[in-house]
Amino acid sequence: MRKRMGKRMQTEILKVDPKNPEKEKLEKAAEVIREGGLVAFPTETVYGLGANALDKKAVTKIFRAKQRPMDNPLIVHISDMGMARRIAELNEVAEKLAKEFFPGPLTLVVPKKEVVPAEVTAGLDTVAIRMPSHPIALKLIEAAKVPIAAPSANLAGKPSPTKAEHVIEDLYGRIDLIIDGGETNIGVESTVLDTTTLEILRPGGLPIEEIRKLVDVKVFKGKVEVAKSPGMKYRHYAPDAELIVFYGKRDDVVEKIKKLSGELVRKGLRVGIAATNLQPYSELNAEVIELGNSIEEVAKNLFSCLRELDKKADVIIAEGVEEKGIGLAVMNRLMKASAGKFYRV
Ligand code: AMP
Ligand code: MG
């Protein structure tokens, strides 16, 4: 099938200090948002691709630029609770969690108000809201004076961007402006909680254990079960290379990866390994990248590592991590990116 690429446009890249964002630069980016354009910007989780959430024409451009299916709703980013109340009805749970965790890596699905266009919510009567803590994100929304709808700033299906270079790879020539504010801190997307059902729809940057200290929430299993079944169609967060994940007892995982890597190399394939530690793989004829020793480091480096290995390997083999804290989000992304090639050893 021929891909419709749309006309290429001029993309400006604006370097902004992540700690002390220059006011005039954010004012310029806010102007692009108010005029209905698309701006990629860093948040504490991953880079977002933003448009005025109240302008349905602008929002439609997000789907076109990302080649994202229209039935996947967007998260609306807000800079204060007044803005949240203009677009949503906050129930008791939402108020409680917002008070504790906003700004931060938590998205709350709440009943929406009339002003939010159907394009933002994929026709649902709920809207997902988040207040980012990254100074650039927060100050950009403040300057724009409108809520900003923003999914991750990558082409649909690809690993999310954690550096401006990743956004440039995927979206240069397709959007108006890219704010380069350096590497994002958390590295995986926000935790999404449906406050109307108390279900976690997506594990993410805020550990479920933290939420459970305040509210009793369930983990929505639907998508996970589908993803675990063989022949799964839905691949997300994925490199072009085939991705195979092994998890379980570390020694067994290492053995398994060494064995498979040898077999693949003998077949003439280029192998990449995403490892928590380089050491056991030093003898292998493979490209090895270290994700990091702590689970927070692994989360921060995950997507960047997948993008890096994708340039050098036909098959990527990754070590899984423990499903604790942010590890649950890491495993969720690895599982979806591997399209079912996700094995306990
Ligand atoms: P991303 O596009 O990567 O930022 O991810 C946005 C996530 O939020 C997706 O998993 C969406 O399905 C989810 N989401 C956004 N709005 C809603 C909503 N109203 N109800 C349920 N899930 C939502
Ligand atoms: Mg995304």
Q: What is the pLDDT of residues 302-345, one digit of tens each?
A: 999 999 999 999 999 999 999 999 999 999 999 999 998 999 99
Q: Whose CA is nearest to atom 1 of ligand 1?
A: 151
pLDDT given at position 6? 60
Q: Which residues contact 92 (CB under 8 A, 6 or more apart)?
A: none
Which strand (E) or helix (H) includes residue 96?
A: helix 92-101
Q: Where in the chain is the domain with CATH 3.90.870.10?
A: 4-219
Nearest to 104 by CA among 197, 189, 26: 189
Residue 74 alpha carbon to ligand 1 centre in Å: 5
Q: Where in the chain is the domain with CATH 3.40.50.11030?
A: 242-344
Q: Whose CA is nearest to atom 21 of ligand 1?
A: 109
CATH 3.90.870.10 fits domain 4-219? yes
pLDDT given at position 231? 35
Q: Which residues contact 80 (CB under 8 A, 6 or more apart)?
A: 131, 142
- Which residues are near ligand 1 (CB < 6 Å)? 72-73, 75, 109, 121, 124, 126-128, 151-152, 189, 192, 201-202
**Is 228's pLDDT higher than 50?**
no
**Is 188's pLDDT higher than 60?**
yes
Q: What CATH number has the domain spanning 242-344? A: 3.40.50.11030
Tens of pLDDT, residue by residue over 290-299, are 999 899 999 9
Nearest to 76 by CA among 62, 93, 97: 62
Tens of pLDDT, residue by residue over 47-100, are 999 999 999 999 999 999 999 999 999 999 999 999 999 999 999 999 999 999
Confidence bin at 5 (pLDDT 50/70/90): low
pTM for the full predicted model: 0.94
**Is 255's pLDDT higher than 70?**
yes
- Interior/surface letters 275-300, b for 16+ CB within 10 angstroms, e for the rest: bbeeebbeeeebbbbbbbeebbebbb
Take residue 37 and report the two structure tokens written for it.
Answer: 């354009």
- Which atom belonging to ligand 1 lies closest to the Cα atom of 122? 19
**Is 4's pLDDT higher than 60?**
no
Q: Which ligand is nearest to the CA of 237?
A: 2
Nearest to 326 by CA among 160, 152, 190: 190
Residue 46 alpha carbon to ligand 1 centre in Å: 14
Residue for token digits 């050491």? 279
Confidence bin at 227 (pLDDT 50/70/90): very low
Confidence bin at 8 (pLDDT 50/70/90): confident
Q: Which ligand is nearest to the CA of 195?
A: 1
- Probe ligand 1: pick from 192, 223, 224, 236, max atoms within 8 Å of CB? 192
- φ and ψ at residue 143, rounded to 5 degrees: -65, -35
3-state secondary structure 154-185: CCCCCCCCCCHHHHHHHHCCCCCEEEECCCCC
pLDDT given at position 217? 96
